A and B are shown apart, each in its own frame.
Chain A
Amino acid sequence: AQSVTQLDSQVPVFEEAPVELRCNYSSSVSVYLFWYVQYPNQGLQLLLKYLSGSTLVESINGFEAEFNKSQTSFHLRKPSVHISDTAEYFCAVSDQGNTPLVFGKGTRLSVIA
């Protein structure tokens, strides 16, 4: 069965500093990978996804994630965070659509002014 491990439950970081949120998955087959963001008292929103092609995917608000098949990882990065990036971030995996999305436990990013 697939699983997702988000190694850090909480990540505090100062404003304008870089951040990396780690995600590792377990699967024996090719996968689709996703990052969702949840702002306080809201539902999840898709941030970015990897389906195929370039292993580096970007979002419109400056986040990027790199698919590393050998390390079974899909870490999320941003070179300079803003206060508005404070939220919970979820990594998710699917067996190319043949299984439902399996979510990690989430990483709470707190940006400090």
Chain B
Amino acid sequence: DAGVIQSPRHEVTEMGQEVTLRCKPISGHNSLFWYRQTMMRGLELLIYFNNNVPIDDSGMPEDRFSAKMPNASFSTLKIQPSEPRDSAVYFCASSLPKTSGRYGATDTQYFGPGTRLTVL
């Protein structure tokens, strides 16, 4: 299996521009997570999908951020308009159908390589 695929790997944009990050989870995984990693705040959960439905979006910073999962094999995270403080590494992770609890935490999460976003 190719693992979780994210694109682009690096994105440099100017403040005010729209940014779209893409994720292809591992086939057969029905849970998908978007995380943001910064030096100051560490790794934070932005949004969690199960069976393509957003279950928890409490970590989405503000209305400038939106995420979609139109089908089991694709998800996007969009920032519009982008700001310099959005600069971070964004990770997508997927896991098998949950076997315990609301978040299926017993199931290993498989992370993609991340997208390094720089907003100038």
Does B71 lie at the interface of the complex (its beta carbon under 8 Å from any beta carbon of A)? Answer: no
Interface residues on B, range: 20 to 34
Indicate if the CB atoms of A100 and B45 lie closer than 8 Å: yes
> Most chain-A Cβ atoms within 10 A of its Cβ — which of B43, B48, B56?
B43
Interface majority SS on B: helix, strand, loop or mixed?
loop
Does A56 lie at the interface of the complex (its beta carbon under 8 Å from any beta carbon of B)? Answer: no
Q: How many angstroms between the C-alpha atoms of A99 and B100 in the bound complex? A: 11
Q: How many angstroms between the C-alpha atoms of A103 and B110 in the bound complex? A: 15
In A45-101, the 8 Å CB interface with B consists of: 45-46, 49, 51, 90, 94-101
Q: How many angstroms between the C-alpha atoms of A97 and B113 in the bound complex? A: 24
Interface majority SS on A: helix, strand, loop or mixed?
loop
Tally of contact residues, A, Cβ under 8 A = 22
Chain B residues engaging chain A, CB cutoff 8 angstroms: 4, 33, 42-43, 45, 48, 56, 91, 93, 98, 100-106, 108-114
Chain A residues engaging chain B, CB cutoff 8 angstroms: 32, 41-46, 49, 51, 90, 94-101, 103-106
